[in-house]
Amino acid sequence: MIQSRFFEDYVPGETRETLGRTITETDIVLHAGQTGDFYPHHMDAEWCKTQPFQQRIAHGTLIFSVAVGMTAGSINPEAFSYGYDRLRFIKPVFISDTIRVRVTIKEKREHKKPNHGVVSELVEVFNQKSETVLACEHLLLVRKKS
């Protein structure tokens, strides 16, 4: 679905939330293959039993990628992703954990391009226990109406 939304249309404090998605062993194996990150923390169940978490941990970059995909909704031809700031992996995500994402419009500011502004979204990822597992800021470069 295509939905035009201009800089002036964004309201600080506005939120949207996703449904849940369960992280599987297949997700972890595929991500390792795509990135080349085969560290034992993600791949070696027996080694992980000797570590503090006692089980394999999903790649932080996997959780980030899945969360970004979960928040993708309508196509806005007036905006595009300008990047991500302050990315933090706060708690580990394990096989069979279910994550959901909340996005909150944090702030709006001017950009050096006079016909655009920057919208900053706080992205928070939660597990099934409502614990924050990842947080970052998503920056959008958005065209102004005038």
* 103 located within any domain: yes
Task: Please report whether residue 54 resides in a domain.
Answer: yes
Q: Are 133 and 87 contacting, i.e. CB atoms less than 8 angstroms apart?
A: no
Q: What is the pLDDT of residue 104?
A: 98
User: Is 69 within a domain?
Assistant: yes
pLDDT digits (tens, 9 = 90+) for 92-111: 999 999 999 999 999 999 99
Total count of domains within the chain? 1
pLDDT at 146 over 80: no
Structural contact between residues 59 and 129, judged by C-beta atoms closer than 8 angstroms: no
Report pLDDT digits (tens) over 37-87.
Answer: 999 999 999 999 999 999 999 999 999 999 999 998 878 999 999 999 999
Identify the CATH number of the domain in which residue 117 sits: 3.10.129.10
Is 120 a domain residue?
yes
Name the residue type at position 144. Answer: K
Among candidates 60, 74, 62, which has minimal Cα distance to 140? 74
Q: How many CB atoms sit inside 10 A of residue 14's CB?
A: 11
Expressed as residue numbers, the domain containing 60 is: 13-143
Give dist(CA 6, CA 116) in Å, integer.
9
Q: Is residue 112 part of a domain?
A: yes
pLDDT, residue 88, reads 98
For residue 60, which of 50, 68, 51 has the smallest C-alpha distance?
Answer: 68
pLDDT at 1: 80
**Residue 74 is assigned to a structural domain of this protein:** yes
- Please report whether residue 6 resides in a domain: no
Whether residue 3 lies inside any domain: the answer is: no
Question: Would you list the DSSP string of the chain?
Answer: -B----GGG--TT-EEE---EE--HHHHHHHHHHH----HHHH-HHHHTTSTT-S-B--HHHHHHHHHHHH--SB-TTEEEEEEEEEEE-S--BTT-EEEEEEEEEEEEE-SSTTEEEEEEEEEEE-TTS-EEEEEEEEEEEE---
Q: What is the dihedral of CA 7, 13, 62, 83, to 10 degrees?
A: 30
